[in-house]
Amino acid sequence: MTRVLIITGDPIGPRMAGPAIRSWNMAFALAEAGNEVTLMTTTKLQKVDAPFDLTLVMPGENDSFAKLEQWCHVVVFQGHAMRQFELLRTTDKITVVDIYDPMHLEMLEQGRELARATWELRVTTSTEVLNEQLALGDFFMCASERQRLFYFGQLAALGRLSPATYENDPHLEGLLSVVPFGLEGTPPAHTRDTLKGVLPGIDSDDKLMIWGGGVYSWFDPKTLIRAVAKLAETRDTARLYFLGTRHPGVDQMGIVRESHDLASGLGALNTSVFFNEEWVDYADRQNYLTEADAGVSTHMSHIETTFSFRTRILDYLWAGLPMVVTEGDSFADLIETEGLGLTVPAQDVDALAAALDRVLYDEAFIVECQRNVARVREDFYWQRTLAPLVNFVANPQHAADHEATRRRGVTLGQKVRKPYGFRHDVRMAWHHLRHTGVKATVDKAFARLRR
């Protein structure tokens, strides 16, 4: 039996977002395979039943973390864990790094709303965090073949594509494997009415499009809102519902307010466009998805899109929904190739409105898409997507260049500043005071205290 510690930086509880959902399913799959598993969060833990141990260890609680590190054989982590717990940089335990989210690319978009110096700091920090993980990890998991090629470039620059790692593994599958986000093998069940005939403005016979996740700055909800408002001029039963705008672990972004204001200005708010101001419980999302007629996801055209993996699409597959998405990412390629719906150019309101019309009202096309979705979704069941991780943990071993990575760990450990604690807070307060002013600094301080 292998003892596995899984670390996520997202809250664990009834309301979970992508990173926590992914870690939860990893823990479930590894426990089901006969391993002893502890799932650890560094932010927030609420009461929830699980067939494995759950624990909360905050950054800086090094004694508590050291006990878990000593207990386990394998550590699986995502996000900033290696930067938050110094022991992860020097541990001799086998480390599995989940890099399904290229956070340095994500931060290029997410940071646009910030002061330039803060934007640059966050991109630089994300890049350093990823480089540190890539320099030291034993086994890596990404979400797509496109991401795998991208990360090979980063690994090569860090010296990880070497004779040691290549000699007995010329395809380097033992170093970096594709482990996509997955979906449950049990189809969603509708156990209660949530939207149709319940929410004022959405009737039981309306055609409902659902936006299945949060609203962030790298998406393009505004083009979608304009397209729905245009469609509503000729289709008075077309409705769009944003399932969640308040991510349980991320501050609300300005794009949420901009989307509200746009829908209101177009006269579409609460007539054809609706927002859920909170976050749907993970176990309850099936009731919303099963009332929908189509799933939608729109984004801008930029580098983040190219290497992204839109996890909300998995819920659309799970619920058997035809889809309309913006072209440019790996899921758009899949949707187009497999006939799961329609793809449209970025920021093209007319093309988007026409595509939405077809997936909602063209009965023959809808049936064809649903048939294709039922076939393709089997490839994304968690038991399949997590197979590389389960297989690795069944016979865990250090990377072939492990000794070299330990030497890197000593060097990296001399350069890292702790991203928590009093000194970190003072540094960040001084940074924001210089670059964003007194009011913004005070607002951030109060937000930090509330968390």
pLDDT digit string (tens) for 194-229? 999 999 999 999 999 999 877 877 789 999 999 999
* One-letter amino acid of 206: D
- Report whether 29 contacts 389 (CB < 8 A): yes
Same domain, 119 and 230: no
Q: Is residue 424 part of a domain?
A: no
Q: Say yes or no: 342 and 234 in one domain.
A: yes
How far apart CA 186 and CA 381 sit, in angstroms, is 9
* Sheet containing 36-41, strands listed edge to edge, beginning at the edge strand earlier in sequence: 53-56, 36-41, 3-8, 74-78, 94-98, 139-142, 176-178
Residue bearing tokens 């007995």: 168
**Is 389 part of a structural domain of the chain?**
yes
Phi, psi (degrees; rounded to nearest 5) at 232: -65, -20
Structural domain boundaries enclosing 269: 207-380
How does residue 412 score in pLDDT terms, banded at 50, 70 and 90? low
pLDDT at 20 over 80: yes
Residue pLDDT, tens place only, 424-440:
566 656 565 666 666 66
Share of the chain above pLDDT 70, in %: 89
Same domain as 303, residue 337? yes
435 assigned to some structural domain: no
Q: Do residues 155 and 135 share a domain?
A: yes
CA distance 450 to 443: 11
Query: Structurally, how many domains does the chain consist of?
Result: 2
105, 36: one domain: yes
**53 and 154 housed in the same domain:** yes
Q: Residue 391 belongs to what H/E stretch?
A: helix 387-394
How far apart (Å, rounded) are the C-alpha atoms in residues 390 and 74?
12
How far is 417 from 133, CA to CA, in rounded Å? 15
**Residues 154 and 47 occupy one common structural domain:** yes
Render pLDDT for 341-398 as a digit per residue (tens, 0 to 9): 999 999 999 999 999 999 999 999 999 999 999 999 999 999 999 999 999 999 999 9
Domain presence at residue 350: yes
Among the three residues 380, 397, 430, which one is the final residue of a domain in this structure? 380
Cα distances (angstroms) measured from residue 262 to each of 225, 269, 273, 353? 8, 8, 10, 16
Selection from 106-115, 184-193, 309-318 with the highest mean pLDDT: 184-193
242: Cβ contacts below 8 Å, ≥ 6 apart: 211, 215, 221, 259, 273, 274, 275, 276
Looking from the CA of 249 toward its CB, the CA atoms found within 13 Å total 20
Which long-range contacts does 254-259 make (Cβ < 8 Å, 24+ apart)? 254/113, 254/217, 255/215, 255/216, 255/217, 255/219, 255/221, 255/222, 256/215, 258/222, 259/215, 259/221, 259/222, 259/225
Among residues 97, 102, 74, 103, the alpha carbon closest in space to that of 176 is found at: 97
Q: Average pLDDT, stretch 415-429? A: 62
Q: In the chain, what percentage of residues exceed pLDDT 90?
A: 72
Same domain (yes/no): 107, 143: yes
Range ranked top by mean pLDDT from 221-235, 274-288, 421-435: 221-235
Q: Contact 329/305 with Cβ under 8 angstroms?
A: yes
The type of residue at 390 is V
Tell me: do 22 and 119 sit in the same domain. yes
Same domain as 133, residue 36: yes
Is the pLDDT confidence value at 447 over 80?
Answer: no
CATH number at residue 103: 3.40.50.2000
Place of tokens 């200005």: 265
Least confident range of 4-18, 246-260, 298-312: 246-260
Encoded tokens for 435:
């670059």
User: Per the confidence metrics, is the pTM higher than 0.95?
Assistant: no
* Among candidate residues 221, 251, 211, the one with its CA nearest the CA of residue 110: 251
Q: In this structure, are 364 and 392 located in the same domain?
A: no
Composition of the chain by helix, strand, coil, percent to 5? 50, 15, 35
Q: In which band, very low, low, confident or very high, does the pLDDT at 310 lie, cut at 50, 70 and 90?
A: confident
**Count of CA atoms in the C-beta half-sphere (13 A) of 124:** 7
Joined tokens for residue 220: 């393009």
195 assigned to some structural domain: no
Could you tell me which of 132, 3, 140, 8 has the C-alpha nearest to residue 74?
3
The torsion angle over the Cα atoms of residues 144, 145, 151 and 153, rounded to 10 degrees, is: -160
DSSP code for 296: E
Residue 430: the pLDDT is: 55
Same structural domain, 175 and 314? no
Domain-embedded: residue 428: no
Q: Would residue 429 count as lying in a domain?
A: no
